[in-house]
Amino acid sequence: MTVGTEAPSPPATAPARRRVPVRRRLTRGAAPWVLLAPALILLAVLLLWPLVRVVMLSLQDYRLRNLIRGDSNYVGLENFTKVLTSDFLWSTVLPNTVGFAVVCVVLTMLVGIVVALFLNTLGRAWRSICTAAIMVAWAVPAITGTYVFVWLFDPLNGLVANTLDALGIMEAGSWNWFDDRWAFYAIATANVVYHGFPFIAVTVLAGLGTVPRELYEAAALDGAGAVTRFRSVTVPGIRPILAVCIILSTIWDFKVFTQIYLMPGGDGTNRSVMNLGVWSYSESFAQGLYGMGSAIAVLLTVLLLVISVVYMRTLMKEDEL
């Protein structure tokens, strides 16, 4: 009976499906979009429109008077040609930005992972205490943290200079490391890594908890040492998390601004330490060349997009995407 009644039903529903496809499909297709709409509209207003505006600005010679009068002044790709043909970009700004980001990402990831592994070996109480302690470093605003580093490294009165002085290595005030491109960036790196590693450590620590214990036991039984266990069990287990951490760190370290701008000479006075972020700010807000500043910002965005896509392709497997 059941077979008898069910037998004709498939052909009955199938043509029915085919007969009203448009309406059904529309409602079915629309449902997710309707649900997504509030978020998408918000994103469009908050992110997409400013992005479009920046691109539009980057195609103009846009100054204070254009801003006040509300008119536009399109000049095509002039800003981009100026930036891309400038010696300053290739010899100073880009090497500073890229080199600094690479070093910072590598160091932040290394320190973050090592700290996470260390935290993972601790008991619950000590782990909470240590996690809280490093989160304090993370919670300090970039502006405050940078001032602390500037004070620590003050060439005349700073802790570092005076310690070196007491050890007889150098006389306090005899050398100004903020003037030197390499020393300047070494201090900035310490600052950025110090503020960046807690996030990585805590995220990786969370990831470590998801790797099944049995895998470690099995590996240990097979005679794998600590390094092999880390390479063959831990890394594959937390790969997606590592990938996200690397992408986020890269984006943060590429667009670093506060930590450079607030250091002595970092506001544009010392040209040899300028990076893309400070350059863009200096052109648009300090000098009122909003078009030029926007062009630099667009280049920075494109650079970050390219890097992110390359990362996604190489770090994540297809099915994880």
Q: Considering beta carbons, is residue 120 or 176 the nearer one to another protein?
A: 176
- Establish if 64 lies at the interface with another protein (CB under 8 A): yes
Q: Considering beta carbons, is residue 153 or 194 the nearer one to another protein?
A: 153
CA atoms within 13 Å, Cβ hemisphere of 304: 21
Tell me the closest approach of the beta carbon of residue 173 to another protein, in angstroms. 4
Per-residue x/- marks for another protein, 96-115, CB under 8 A?
--------------------
Q: Which of 128, 174, 218, 306 binds another protein (CB under 8 A)?
A: 174
Tell me the closest approach of the beta carbon of residue 281 to another protein, in angstroms. 10
List the end-to-end C-alpha distance of the chain, in Å, as a whole number: 48
Tell me the closest approach of the beta carbon of residue 139 to another protein, in angstroms. 23
Q: Considering beta carbons, is residue 84 or 235 the nearer one to another protein?
A: 84
Q: Considering beta carbons, is residue 61 or 248 the nearer one to another protein?
A: 61
**Closest residue by Cα to residue 301 from 284, 316, 280, 286:** 280
Per-residue x/- marks for another protein, 65-84, CB under 8 A?
x-xxxx--------------
Per-residue x/- marks for another protein, 121-160, CB under 8 A?
---------------------------------xxxx---
- Establish if 265 lies at the interface with another protein (CB under 8 A): yes
Q: Considering beta carbons, is residue 78 or 267 the nearer one to another protein?
A: 267
Q: Which of 83, 193, 247, 289 binds another protein (CB under 8 A)?
A: 289
Q: Considering beta carbons, is residue 178 or 252 the nearer one to another protein?
A: 178
- Establish if 264 lies at the interface with another protein (CB under 8 A): yes
Hey, what long-range contacts does 258-263 have (CB within 8 A, 24 or more apart)?
258/142, 258/143, 258/146, 259/142, 259/145, 259/146, 259/188, 259/191, 259/192, 259/195, 260/188, 262/143, 262/146, 262/147, 262/150, 263/146, 263/149, 263/150, 263/178, 263/184, 263/187, 263/188
- Establish if 179 lies at the interface with another protein (CB under 8 A): yes
Q: Considering beta carbons, is residue 234 or 275 the nearer one to another protein?
A: 275
Backbone angles phi, psi at 95, to 5 degrees: -60, -40
Which residues in this chain contact another protein in the complex, by CB under 8 A? 63-65, 67-70, 154-157, 173-176, 178-179, 264-265, 267-271, 282, 285-289
